[in-house]
Amino acid sequence: MVNPERLLHEFLELCRVDSVSGQERQLCDLLKARLGALGLTVREDQAGAFGNGTAGNIIAHLPATVPDRPRLLFCAHMDTVEPGRGVKPVVGADGIIRSAGDTILGADDKAGIAAVIEAIRVVQENKLAHSGVTVVFTIREETGLVGAKALDAGIQADYGFVLDATGQPGEIVVRAPSQDKLTATVYGRAAHAGVNPEAGINAIYVAAQAIAAMQLGRIDPETTANIGTINGGKAVNIVPDTVYLEGEVRSLKKERRAAHTALICRILEETAQKAGARVEVNVELLYEGFDLSAAAPVVRFTREAMSLCGLEPVLTQSGGGSDANILNARGIPTVNLATGMENVHTTGEEIAVADLVALTRLVLELIRLAGNG
């Protein structure tokens, strides 16, 4: 019942709408109108107030036609990374959708949005029984899951589905890491680099010594760490007195994340103390991880729906966070479904039309299965 031509037209239209993180207003207005026309109750929250964004999250609801069945929530994010302005999607003769080559495509995550809209159209056109559907389109996912973190705590569902994983439809992300963000400022002492360098304490050198002592990259099969930015110094003839570092630690095991974060902090502090410098370190937990077993009801439900629509279920894990991390932490058991998008965050981003159709059929089957039992 999915209309592939209509679905493709919807997706291409969404890709042409600029919606880089923090500037989702135009897309937000379009989607609110779409969902309202499909008979959902639609509201926009105040998440945009955080960081001077132009739009909030969309929360829409389709009331159940059958009682006492699992309530479903579908989530995708409206924002894209740069370069994401003036996207010109092109459908190739090979059935692959790409940008013109100078921007991203925006399948991350407009493929998920298009799939949800088309599936709900089919439900409404055919008056299919359903158990109630909540649709959440978030802002600023790409800049730290900002929209999801600001969602109303009162949103309820029995099973959640985030449509935001790379890979082929059929892949189900059931494990994802928690993440710490580390920021550190090393304070040394300034001096003239040519006249009296002995009087100075080189903050960049201290930071470099600390970084060299850290274990970074792949720590173990479930844990990674990185120092991603370093900034400091004023001029080549001044011993730098300040340097600023940013890094992260991720792990599928929160104990490993916490332990490695503590180790990095200790190395910074001990190195600074040894050099006569000082360091201030701040650690922020950006999001909790999740780990759903194969026996979890939401996983079993998803696998059943996939089998019904001809997909081979494959349980996977991710090294990154998504809105699914936030929803799981809020008490809504949520999986992250692969959409078919590939090479995301690059100008080589692409998605096959066939995968977009398969994803949409899966969303529709999830709704039908919940309604029919």
Using alpha carbons only, what angle is made at residue 229 by residues 224 and 230, rounded to the nearest 5 degrees?
Answer: 125
The rounded distance, in Å, linking the Cα atoms of 217 and 226 is 6
Of 133, 28, 9, 39, the closest CA to residue 77 belongs to 28
Q: What is the separation, in whole angstroms, between the first and last Cα of the chain?
A: 19
What values do phi and psi take at 13, rounded to 5? Answer: -65, -45
- Are the C-beta atoms of 163 and 111 separated by less than 8 Å? yes
Residue type present at position 48? G
The rounded distance, in Å, linking the Cα atoms of 333 and 322 is 14
The rounded distance, in Å, linking the Cα atoms of 337 and 329 is 18
198 annotated ligand binder: no
Tokens representing 208 are 């470099």
108 annotated ligand binder: yes
Please identify every residue annotated as catalytic: 141
- CB atoms under 10 Å from CB of 323, counted, come to 27
The rounded distance, in Å, linking the Cα atoms of 290 and 178 is 8
The rounded distance, in Å, linking the Cα atoms of 373 and 352 is 31
Is residue 339 exposed (0-12), middle (13-18) or buried (19+ Cβ within 10 Å)?
buried
Strand 171-176 and strand 314-317: the pairing is parallel
Q: Which residues of 67-86 are buried (b: 16+ CB within 10 A; e: fewer)?
A: eebbbbbbbbbbbbbeebee
Tokens representing 191 are 């001096």
Q: What is the CA radius of gyration of the chain?
A: 24
The rounded distance, in Å, linking the Cα atoms of 348 and 342 is 8
- CB atoms under 10 Å from CB of 102, counted, come to 10
Tokens representing 131 are 């158990």
Cα 371 to chain center, whole Å?
A: 29
Binding site for Zn(2+), by residue number, is 108, 142, 164
Binding site, by residue number, is 108, 142, 164
